[in-house]
Chain A
């Protein structure tokens, strides 16, 4: 079955440290993958997306993600985390059956220590 998994529910990092949030997908073909960020009580903001081509994708706010077909992964990275990055991060997968609906992972809550 098609799905997206975020293994880490909570992650805490120190400000200035590097960050990697994991995302794994299960799909029979090359998927369309997204990373969104959500601040408390807010909607979703798209950080970056992968459709095809270069497997290293640059996004907003200094984030990047790398698509690795061999590992079925699309991990989000940032070299130096800022306190304002504390939020909930969702990996999403475009399920191309029917109306091309987005299916979300469970999310990873990021806390940043000063």
Chain B
């Protein structure tokens, strides 16, 4: 149980285009989802927290208009990188928490984004 699936696992896009990453909780309802960004050989930096049906809370320094987060259902959150540039290339990881099941968060397998 407690499986979180991210799609796609990797994506290559052209500069200026937008790309959407999906995060799904497969066997539980995720009231809260988190999006992290990880640069090569670095730690995970929290980008934003989203709660189902409400606006995401972004960490300081994260551009809201650049990284659009939608958490429209209890099993799906999406991160859209708008007008992507090469500096947006990174590893993006989501995690999901079911508050009724405790405070532990479960992680997706990550998405490798390369902008060319």
Contacts and interface: CB of A to CB of B under 8 A. Distances in A.
Main secondary structure of the interface of B (DSSP, over half): strand
B110 A102 contact: no
Contact of A101 (B49, B109, B110): B49
Given A99-B51, A101-B34, A44 B107 contact: yes
A41 B41 CA distance: 10
Nearest to B9: A41
B104 A49 contact: yes
Interface string A20-50: 0000000000001000100001111110010
B57 interface: yes
B44 A100 contact: no
Output the residue of A43, A94, A102 with the most chain B CB within 10 A: A43
A97 to B, nearest CB: 11
Contacts, number: 53
Interface residues of A, number: 23
Interface range, B side: 20 to 34
A43 B43 contact: no
Interface string A73-108: 000000000000000001000100011111111110
Contacts of B36: 104
Interface string B86-108: 00000101010100000111011
Given A32-B103, A46-B104, A99 B32 contact: yes
Given A32-B103, A100-B97, A90 B109 contact: no
B60 interface: no
A2 to B, nearest CB: 13
B105 A99 contact: no
Contacts of A102: 34, 46, 95, 105
